[in-house]
Amino acid sequence: MAYETIIVEVEDHVCTIKLNRPDALNALNSHLLGELGDALTDADQNDKVRCIIITGSTKAFAAGADIKEMSEKSYVDMFLSDFFGREGETICRTRKPIIAAVAGYALGGGCELAMMCDFIIAADTAKFGQPEINLGVMPGLGGTQRLTRFVGKSKAMEMNLTGRFMDADEAERSGLVSRVVPAKTLMEEARAAADKIAEKSMLTTIAVKEAVNRAYETTLSEGLLYERRLFHSLFATDDQKEGMAAFTEKRSAQFRDR
């Protein structure tokens, strides 16, 4: 499909989606988020794709929701259109793993988009922030909720109340990103992680993603039970037999998603 605000490439088993509004530092407007949702839905339905990477440019992953698109909207416009509600849900409904490869600014909706992905690999140039307060608004896609779960109340509160940016090292120390890599190797590192994920059984990949995400939605005892039941269910699969046989026979497993 031809897109105007993103570039989508499927190579081997990895779908890379590059946000592409360079003149606006990849600001997220309705058109871009609509295209991103379509691309994620396609990737989820494409049997060839086993992992997805979302990235931006070297200067900006995304500098937030598009302020120019929002500035003249009224409360009624925002409420009746449920502004960005559906788009956010489409991203979070994606079943295949999504890696955010972040260089430069990930601000406002950009930081929130990165947090909707399954994990974030940051370039050493990355800067995260929720500067909405400077615009007389507040986050609307998870900046007060997901950020608090990632980095704890104190840092989330400070970032949201002051608009202070967090650099890549602080983001790694605080648990916002899984690791920091030199900017020039960002895509290589993200691709290597995606290739590793692509080797696994899709059955286990999706089960792991669902179980980790469940940790944010439920109590520990319910989460542990959910995890254990999923673990038990994997013994109904050929891939469990293959994975354990391959270990015993000292060879690589050949998973078939069955």
Q: Which residues are catalytic?
A: 65, 109, 112, 132
The 3-state DSSP class for residue 195 equals helix
x/- binding map, residues 141-170, to ligand CO8, per CB under 6 A?
A: x-----------------------------
Q: Is the CB of residue 61 less than 8 Å from the CB of residue 114?
A: yes
Return the residue of 36, 54, 99, 107 that touches ligand CO8, per CB under 6 A.
Answer: 107
Pick the closer one to ligand CO8 by CB: 75 or 235.
75
Minimum gap (Å) between residue 45 Cβ and ligand CO8: 26
Looking from the CA of 101 toward its CB, the CA atoms found within 13 Å total 27
Binder of ligand CO8 out of 34, 57, 67, 144 (CB under 6 A): 67
Helix runs in the chain, H state only? 30-45, 67-70, 75-80, 85-93, 109-116, 146-151, 153-162, 168-173, 186-199, 202-214, 220-233, 238-248
d(CA 48, CA 44): 9
By CB under 6 A, the count of residues binding ligand CO8 is 21
Query: Are 41 and 1 in contact, with CB atoms under 8 Å apart?
Result: no
Distance, in Å, from the CA atom of 173 to the CA atom of 180, rounded to the nearest integer, reads 10
* Angle, alpha carbons 59-99-45 (nearest 5°): 120
**Residue of 61, 83, 128, 150 interacting with ligand CO8 (CB under 6 A):** 83
Q: Which of residues 124-143 bind ligand CO8 (CB under 6 A)?
A: 131-132, 135, 139-141
Binding to ligand CO8 (CB under 6 A) within 24-63 occurs at 24-25, 27, 63
* Shortest CB 117 distance to ligand CO8, Å: 16
The residues binding ligand CO8 (CB under 6 A) are: 24-25, 27, 63-68, 83-84, 105, 107-109, 131-132, 135, 139-141
